[in-house]
Amino acid sequence: MAINRKKTKNGEIHYIVRVRDSIGRWFPSKTFEQKTDAKRHERTLLSQRDIGVSVSSIQQRNIPFEEYKAKWTIECRSKMSEGWKKKQDQMIKDYIVPCLEKRKLSEIKSCDIEAVLVSVKKQGLGEQVQLHIYNILHKMFDDAINMYEILPKNPVVKRLRPKITQKERTFLEPSESQALLNQSKSHSLGVLIWIQIYSGLRPGETTVLRVKDLDFERNQILIRTSYNRSERCIQDHTKQGDWGMAPMPPALKNYLIESTKDKNEDSFIVEKPSGGMVTYESYNLTLKKLCHEAGVKIITPHELRHSSTELYYEAGASAEDIRRLLNHKSISCTQKYIHRTDRRLSSIAEKVGCTNFEKSEG
């Protein structure tokens, strides 16, 4: 390491700072007019060397964002489905690259990230898309810190995270679920509705169930596959990435035994007349028609899952019970399925204090 003096043509003295990194390579030299500034820069480089900063990491830090993006998309998304990769690639191309492509990675600040998110909002994109773009950016820069070790901090700060307006999904009250069960019992797609209401499965898990997935001895439904609508394929795992299990209440068990008694164990529990699994579109249209005929709210197949939690919650299930029913990894996700209805609160209020009051009267 050294601070070298250099005399210019005008007779002025300048100071050149040269320092090697931990493996002997020179950091970029820098010239100062004041010796105090040169010494300050020298101390900065020495402290960077002491914490492991190298010449190569500085060079990588100065790569263009577009070059880093290309590297990141190839090396950091191995566990991601192909369908989600395509969606991410489209969002990066349409909304992130136009704002950041000409910048060096190390030059990008929180204000630049905010500009991306403001631009997305002005284009009228939904809250969920805005959040997806924020999460992509956060992951890209987080990997630059923790995986590549080329940035000291993440410019995608928490305060920039878009807020999502929570909207409660439509669901059926237990009495409405019972009306729909009665209406759909003799319909060819009734089995799908019964399973979703009684066992809480996702639509993509229900339509690909086979007879062999029904365990009548243990009163369970084995969830081993799911249909990915975006990729149009059957996956050998659930949305959570592993196999799951759902309970089979007595009423559902009796109905399924009768409905599947003449089917081969490898058959889908419900099939199209021409063979093969029932499509989501066909199922959704049939469900709406049956809801109308039953005189209940018109709901989607996913909202049958919300209706299932109402049935279990009224029967005494806890939040943890419902988390396991829905095969969620975290209770925070389950909270969206526990609906705070005035009906339930009023029912509880009627019981508050009754026992103590009756005892004091006696």
* Claim to verify: residue 223 and residue 121 sit in the same structural domain: no
* Claim to verify: residue 264 and residue 305 sit in the same structural domain: yes
In a domain, 149, yes or no: yes
Highest mean pLDDT: which range of 93-107, 159-173, 329-343: 93-107
DSSP letter string, 276-341: SBPPHHHHHHHHHHHHHHHTS----HHHHHHHHHHHHHHTT--HHHHHHHHT-S-HHHHGGGS---
Query: What is the pLDDT at residue 293?
Result: 97
Residue 104: alpha-carbon gap to chain centroid: 29
Q: Which of 61, 94, 110 delimits the end of a domain?
A: 61
Q: Which of 10, 43, 61 delimits the end of a domain?
A: 61
Identify which of 302, 358, 346 has the alpha carbon closest to the alpha carbon of residue 326: 302
| Per-residue DSSP letter, 105 | G
* Claim to verify: residue 194 and residue 309 sit in the same structural domain: yes
* Claim to verify: residue 315 and residue 197 sit in the same structural domain: yes
* Claim to verify: residue 269 and residue 120 sit in the same structural domain: no
* Claim to verify: residue 224 and residue 125 sit in the same structural domain: no
In a domain, 28, yes or no: yes
* Claim to verify: residue 56 and residue 83 sit in the same structural domain: no
In a domain, 54, yes or no: yes
Angle ∠(221,226,229) on CA atoms, nearest 5 = 145
Query: Has this prediction a pTM greater than 0.75?
Result: no
In a domain, 361, yes or no: no
* Claim to verify: residue 200 and residue 245 sit in the same structural domain: yes
**Cα–Cα distance between 142 and 139 in angstroms, integer?**
5
Q: H-type helices in 149-264, by residue range?
A: 174-184, 190-199, 203-206, 250-260
- CATH number, domain at 295? 1.10.443.10
Q: 226: which 2 tokens?
A: 């799911």
Identify which of 76, 304, 293, 346 has the alpha carbon closest to the alpha carbon of residue 169: 304
Mean pLDDT computed over every residue of the chain: 86
Q: 218: which 2 tokens?
A: 């243990």
Q: Which tens digits make up the pLDDT trace of 60-91?
A: 667 889 989 998 999 898 877 778 889 999 99
Cα separation values, 219 from 78, 121, 145, Å? 37, 49, 49
Q: What range defines the domain where residue 16 resides?
A: 2-61
Q: Is the pLDDT of residue 362 over 50?
A: no
- The answer to whether residues 154 and 142 touch, using CB atoms and an 8 Å cutoff, is yes
By percentage, how much of the chain surpasses pLDDT 90?
A: 49
In a domain, 360, yes or no: no
In a domain, 75, yes or no: yes
- CATH number, domain at 130? 1.10.150.130
Q: CB neighbours of 106 closer than 8 A, spacing ≥ 6?
A: 61, 62, 150, 151
* Claim to verify: residue 146 and residue 226 sit in the same structural domain: no
In a domain, 167, yes or no: no
* Claim to verify: residue 198 and residue 335 sit in the same structural domain: yes
Q: Which of 95, 130, 160 delimits the end of a domain?
A: 160
User: Per the structure, how many domains does the chain have?
Assistant: 3
Of 10-14, 84-88, 321-325, 327-331, minimum mean pLDDT range: 327-331
* Claim to verify: residue 246 and residue 179 sit in the same structural domain: yes
- Local structure of 128: helix, strand or coil: helix
Q: Which tens digits make up the pLDDT trace of 124-173?
A: 999 999 999 999 999 999 998 888 778 889 999 999 999 988 777 899 99
In a domain, 166, yes or no: no
- The answer to whether residues 299 and 193 touch, using CB atoms and an 8 Å cutoff, is no
* Claim to verify: residue 57 and residue 75 sit in the same structural domain: no
